[in-house]
A and B are shown apart, each in its own frame.
Chain A
């Protein structure tokens, strides 16, 4: 097996994952002006619910559909029933609330499946495709195709549909958008919905290959944020930064060892922070 090809393949899959996570994170961050620390929980919830249902003997497609529904419901109800009624609270407190939601989600998941990783069968049970000395699982190919296809679809949705344009306008400037008659709350709800859906999609396609445990959520939020920060919080840029980050992490895993992935990710985050700091010329903080 060719190590380089294999890590490019796994990098493409991871990159698709980070792109899907990053897009949702950026959309929510830009429209609602908060960082949703529970963003990655939708990914973990999808895996845990699907694994549980499959374990109870529920057919795979039904399990997956229900799992995705739960994940999207988690993201949208966090916004609709918890954050939105408190929109006048300080942003720091709202972020803290999203952390609380992530915390509760972890608590529930550990109760449901314990601390061991869980998984469920892949949708595509075909032998892996062999390319240039590497093996690409069909499921992985689907992840890559869906990941980038969906990203393009979201881009089209934003650029071409009325709801999408309203969402973009809200992301650009919520106050101005509201003055222009955009239903800002609807746009935000859609952003949370897309965020939950993309994380769930990533979960459905990736988790059969890697498994998931109760604490995967914050690790996913962290990686989605790094991808988003590299892209300067631009929904289009995440397509490239997510892919790049995924490839880089796969290379680190292949050539240095999986144990180095967390430290290297942290190092990337430090580099991003230093790069962003360069723009801030004044002593501290950021202007309002």
Chain B
């Protein structure tokens, strides 16, 4: 246990007994109970919005719904002990449905959809007073009578469990996946992530926290008012998460505590409440996106520096464990690689009247580097997008190891295709290791954390990048991003590599290094298709060159043959000489 964990533990204990010490004016057991239940529900919003970056504007709907549903069921004769879990389950089911409807669309639909739901919940609660109690609220009777201290213990235990389960859940593979989805949905899909499914999962799990926290709070205060499920309550929830520190484990707890205590101390300032929430939210988003947790971290770092508690150094990497089943499978797959990998048959892609790719056919064999060249607008990038599944072909077939993949979604091609982008799309706040492991996470086979770390480290080392392996990507020079992305694309040895202008922006030395790396990957049996403008580089590494112009394939063959082809010189190289 580190000093830091010990400190957090001590503070947690102190916080738990604080209401009974009377050290903090206004911080009574009743307020602390409310705060803890509210924080439990905010953990869900923190997962959805803070970690995954989904703009859930109506989360209060899922806080109030389970209480309303349970209360209404109870009134109609269902015992509370059954109605409460049913209420939670129904609210989670509704969350799941909302996710299914809005999540495949751009994020703004999800934002507006969730906002709309908050309007609906509050509106319905007001519209049917005979069922919901209307504006004066729905009375709730707890199934078991509990004293105030009992409630407080329940609140502390449940928020502790909630926080611990969040910390346990949102780490490793799941955290990497969520960060990828948050940062770059396209890159996430290309790495094999079913983005819609991951977002639906995050929203459903998060809404479960919201529902549990919400129903506990409702039964504690024994009344549920329409506005607790409405837009203002949703905005206030967002504000508390943001102010506490969105995405961090203790953010919801700190945000809820700070705000609840502030308003309790200020007393009778209801008119100012919304403005305080709004300003707090606005200013934190603009100037201190890490919130209270960020400030505490900064304070801790300064304190640590002043105490000179540095120099323990990073722990040495664990010794390499013996070869695993996954390695063995990879070796088998690699040794089975011969013949044709990728085959394009008369592929066309039209955008309206624009024929971006017109009737293109060629093949890439295992252990072969094929370079795709052509002037700007020749259709190279479109063809790449068609192969990786970002665009659908208008006509033609795409065969990968003999199977037609033309109809498969992006993420289902990912296991067989490693792709790099013109502008690298790495997750900036993850290390190269984690970026590479995020790729391994979504390849078929046994995915154990330690294996992934080891394979990623070995691969980075093979590419001469081990010195950079443990720094966040946003602290590493842009020149290395291309190489790191190449490691990520080739990790797990996919049969086909699609590299989009890998040499652009590299120095002459780095280009030489890149050529060596491509030859290494080729010798491991990969089929490599490269789009590249650097003709010198292409001539040195490519076994075959395919030339496109205005969407058509105009020449293909060995570098010497293509470079001396008069049509190619006219269409493409003529512009350079």
Residues of A within 8 A of B (CB): 35, 37, 82, 86, 92-93, 95-97, 99-101, 103-108, 110-111, 114, 214-215, 218-219, 222, 225-226, 229, 259-263, 265-266, 269-270, 273-274, 276-277, 280-288
**Alpha-carbon distance A270/B114, docked complex (angstroms):** 11
Any A CB within 8 A of the CB of B115 = yes
Any A CB within 8 A of the CB of B439 = no
Any A CB within 8 A of the CB of B240 = no
Any A CB within 8 A of the CB of B502 = no
CB distance from A229 to the nearest CB of B (A): 7
CB distance from A276 to the nearest CB of B (A): 6
Known A103-B277, A215-B231: A222·B55 in contact at CB below 8 Å: no
Known A273-B105, A277-B104, A280-B105: A107·B275 in contact at CB below 8 Å: yes
Known A111-B275, A266-B120: A103·B196 in contact at CB below 8 Å: no
Given contacts A265-B116, A283-B409, A288-B186, 18 further A-B contacts (CB under 8 A): A35-B111, A93-B285, A97-B282, A99-B281, A103-B277, A106-B278, A107-B276, A110-B274, A218-B115, A222-B119, A259-B126, A262-B123, A263-B120, A265-B119, A280-B105, A282-B389, A283-B196, A283-B410
Residues of B within 8 A of A (CB): 53, 55, 57, 101-109, 111-113, 115-117, 119-120, 123-124, 126-127, 185-186, 188-189, 194-197, 199, 231-232, 235, 238-239, 271-272, 274-279, 281-282, 285-286, 289, 385, 389-392, 409-412
CB distance from A23 to the nearest CB of B (A): 17
B109-A103 in contact (CB<8A): no
B115-A284 in contact (CB<8A): no
Return the contact of A262 from the options B119, B272, B390 (Cβ within 8 A). Answer: B119
B127-A259 in contact (CB<8A): yes
B285-A283 in contact (CB<8A): no
B282-A101 in contact (CB<8A): yes
B109-A285 in contact (CB<8A): no
B104-A280 in contact (CB<8A): yes
A282-B409 in contact (CB<8A): yes
Return the contact of B103 from the options A103, A219, A229, A284 (Cβ within 8 A). Answer: A284
A269-B286 in contact (CB<8A): no
**What 8 A-B pairs are tightest by C-beta distance, nearest first?**
A284-B196, A107-B275, A100-B282, A103-B278, A259-B127, A283-B409, A285-B185, A107-B278
Contacts of B117 in A (CB 8 A): 266
**Alpha-carbon distance A99/B278, docked complex (angstroms):** 9
Contacts of B189 in A (CB 8 A): 282-285
B286-A100 in contact (CB<8A): yes
A37-B194 in contact (CB<8A): no
B282-A103 in contact (CB<8A): yes
Contacts of A100 in B (CB 8 A): 278, 281-282, 285-286
Contacts of B282 in A (CB 8 A): 97, 100-101, 103-104
A225-B112 in contact (CB<8A): yes
Contacts of B278 in A (CB 8 A): 100, 103-107
Contacts of A93 in B (CB 8 A): 285, 289
At the interface, is chain A mostly helix, strand, loop or mixed? helix
CB distance from A53 to the nearest CB of B (A): 20
Contacts of A288 in B (CB 8 A): 185-186
A92-B123 in contact (CB<8A): no
**Alpha-carbon distance A31/B282, docked complex (angstroms):** 23
A110-B286 in contact (CB<8A): no
* Nearest chain B residue, comparing its CB with the CB of A283: B409
B113-A269 in contact (CB<8A): yes
B410-A286 in contact (CB<8A): no
Known A100-B286, A277-B104: A284·B55 in contact at CB below 8 Å: no
CB distance from A263 to the nearest CB of B (A): 5
Contacts of A101 in B (CB 8 A): 282
B101-A286 in contact (CB<8A): no
A285-B104 in contact (CB<8A): yes
CB distance from B180 to the nearest CB of A (A): 11
Known A95-B111, A97-B282, A283-B410: A262·B120 in contact at CB below 8 Å: yes
**Alpha-carbon distance A276/B105, docked complex (angstroms):** 7
* Nearest chain B residue, comparing its CB with the CB of A105: B278
**Alpha-carbon distance A166/B110, docked complex (angstroms):** 31
Return the contact of B53 from the options A92, A229, A261 (Cβ within 8 A). Answer: A92
Contacts of A277 in B (CB 8 A): 101, 104-105
B104-A104 in contact (CB<8A): no
* Nearest chain B residue, comparing its CB with the CB of A272: B109
B199-A82 in contact (CB<8A): no
B53-A104 in contact (CB<8A): no
**Alpha-carbon distance A218/B115, docked complex (angstroms):** 9
* Nearest chain B residue, comparing its CB with the CB of A115: B271
Known A262-B120, A280-B105, A288-B186: A104·B275 in contact at CB below 8 Å: yes
Contacts of A114 in B (CB 8 A): 271
CB distance from B436 to the nearest CB of A (A): 22
Known A103-B239, A107-B276: A82·B231 in contact at CB below 8 Å: no
**Alpha-carbon distance A104/B275, docked complex (angstroms):** 6
A287-B390 in contact (CB<8A): yes
A222-B277 in contact (CB<8A): no
* Nearest chain B residue, comparing its CB with the CB of A277: B104
19 residue pairs bridging A and B, Cβ less than 8 Å apart: A35-B108, A93-B289, A95-B55, A100-B285, A104-B282, A110-B275, A215-B231, A222-B119, A229-B112, A260-B127, A262-B120, A265-B119, A269-B112, A270-B113, A273-B102, A277-B104, A283-B410, A284-B104, A287-B385
* Nearest chain A residue, comparing its CB with the CB of B286: A97
CB distance from B118 to the nearest CB of A (A): 9
B194-A283 in contact (CB<8A): yes
CB distance from B112 to the nearest CB of A (A): 5
A274-B285 in contact (CB<8A): no
**Alpha-carbon distance A100/B120, docked complex (angstroms):** 22
**Alpha-carbon distance A218/B112, docked complex (angstroms):** 10
Return the contact of A263 from the options B124, B274, B409 (Cβ within 8 A). Answer: B124
A282-B410 in contact (CB<8A): yes
**Alpha-carbon distance A114/B101, docked complex (angstroms):** 36
**Alpha-carbon distance A96/B246, docked complex (angstroms):** 12
Contacts of B232 in A (CB 8 A): 106, 215
Return the contact of B113 from the options A104, A260, A273 (Cβ within 8 A). Answer: A273
* Nearest chain B residue, comparing its CB with the CB of A91: B107
CB distance from A64 to the nearest CB of B (A): 25
**Alpha-carbon distance A282/B197, docked complex (angstroms):** 12
Return the contact of B199 from the options A229, A263, A284 (Cβ within 8 A). Answer: A284
